[in-house]
Amino acid sequence: MPNHPTADGTALLVRRSELHGNGVFARRLIAAGAPVVLQQGIPLETEELKEDIKAIQVGPRAWLLADPENPHESDEINHSCDPNLGFLDGSLMLYAIRDILPGEEVTFDYASAMADPHFHVNPCRCGAANCRKEIVSFPALDAATQEKIRPIALQYLRQILPNQPMANSVNPQLVGPNKDANDVL
């Protein structure tokens, strides 16, 4: 397993996860509120997406595609319905929501980034006590869950109100972040 570069060179490492495929783990204690990793990749627009790619949505029509030439921890972060990372200032920086212990897997809530109406992973196997049992995009969540996730969501999602879908995808086969092409979730 190759080591990937980290935001500060020491905080994170990538290895197999019990949650799903590869995961990203803390090498050391990360204090609540600390910036941990910047989401990055090759910018794409919705119309440029292809099936079975690993990409994360970062705007109404904007995506970041994992760069195979330049792998990064942000490509491999698994989803959790009870994440320890969040977009606390609405930017692409993921911050620690709480103290993260050495060896703990770091996760974020994919609903805090995704708006695509076709994004759907069922079942969710994050294992959290409050698991929502499926992963859908922010606009597809009920009002109470949107309220809970809004403070850790990307800025472009924060003004979306309940029952306000963003119908912007052309690709029903979209796989979303950290979903390997051949995995069966």
SS3 call for 149:
helix
What minimum distance in Å lies between the beta carbon of 81 and Zn ion? 3
On whether the CB atoms of residues 73 and 89 are closer than 8 A, the answer is no
Q: Please report, as ranges, the residues that interact with Zn ion according to CB under 5 A.
A: 81, 124, 126, 131
Nearer to Zn ion, 22 or 40 (CB): 22
Nearer to Zn ion, 74 or 80 (CB): 80
C-alpha span between 54 and 66 (Å, rounded):
6
Nearer to Zn ion, 46 or 110 (CB): 110
SS3 call for 144:
helix
**Number of Cα atoms under 13 Å in the Cβ half of residue 175:** 17
What minimum distance in Å lies between the beta carbon of 84 and Zn ion? 13
What minimum distance in Å lies between the beta carbon of 35 and Zn ion? 25
